Structure 1
Amino acid sequence: MVEIPESAITETFLAASGPGGQNVNKVETAVQMRVNIRALDLAPYALRKLKTLAGSKMTVGGELIFTVRKYRTREANRIEARKRIADIVEEAHQRDAYRVKTRPSRAAKARRVDAKKKKSSVKKMRGKPKLE
């Protein structure tokens, strides 16, 4: 798992909806974590991939925002938010496999055309017979 420095994280607590009964109305158990991605010192490829993975969770200012209100306790929500952040940063560090473009061979093209012709003839036979 990736270590995220405490200096890069800002957390605020919100009133949560969901499970918790009366407790949910009194205690701010939901957590909103903001991570400054510039403080993470990511490689350029990882930064590009992180922006793609994060989508709407990334702000224009370069902050990654996660809001967690899954659990009834503040501490459990904090742990879950840190886990989600670490997971997405770790996934951003994994390089995609290099794909080599290939073209179908002449034989493969011929097989494809033959299969299409066969399918076409089968479908032609399904129609009503013509009376001549």
Structure 2
Amino acid sequence: MMFRHTVSPAEVELTAVRAQGAGGQNVNKVSSAIHLRFDIRASSLPEPIKMRLLALHDHRITRDGMVVIKAQEYRTQEMNRAAALARLNELIASVSVAPRARIPTKPTRASAIRRLESKTRRADVKATRARIVDRER
């Protein structure tokens, strides 16, 4: 089952910055991009979700346990703010479901036989490469 965990606005630090890249006068004078910073350890998220977030190998999570998201795809600050928050919620939702435990299985008898036959064929090929020793002398 999946629980929807929401983050309170007090836990998120939003900073308006100038967007990168081409865009003309508007991009040079308007701070429309948003930097979102979210401290995983200090958040109100349940402990298992915090642990799974910290264990993620995601480039947006720093060593200090901060999620850093930069949204700059829209022209307006409001739309970039909404996009950054949506990405944060998406990241949290991706770890909110506990991974299922793997049930170890045995290889089938047929696959074991195929494996042994291929090993035997390979051994035969290598045996034919061996130097033939003349034992009559």
Using the size of structure 2 for normalisation, the TM-score is: 0.73
What do you get for the CA RMSD once the two structures are aligned?
2.6
Identity of aligned residues (%): 31
For 1:7 and 1:40, the matched residues in 2 are separated by 10
Per-residue CA deviations over 1:80-104 (Å, capped at 9, x if unaligned) read 0000000001111111111011221
Query: Which has the larger helix fraction?
Result: 1
2:15 alignment counterpart: 12
Give the CA deviation at 1:13.
1.1
Using the size of structure 1 for normalisation, the TM-score is: 0.75
Which runs of 5 or more residues in structure 2 are unaligned?
123-137
Which runs of 5 or more residues in structure 1 are unaligned?
121-132
- Say whether residues 1:53 and 2:56 are aligned partners: yes
Q: Would the alpha carbon gap of residues 89 and 4 (structure 1) be closer, same or farther in structure 2, given more than 3 Å must change? A: same
Matched residue count = 122
For 1:27 and 1:34, the matched residues in 2 are separated by 21
For 2:7 and 2:23, the matched residues in 1 are separated by 30
Q: Would the alpha carbon gap of residues 23 and 54 (structure 1) be closer, same or farther in structure 2, given more than 3 Å must change? A: farther
For 1:27 and 1:111, the matched residues in 2 are separated by 66
For 2:38 and 2:63, the matched residues in 1 are separated by 13
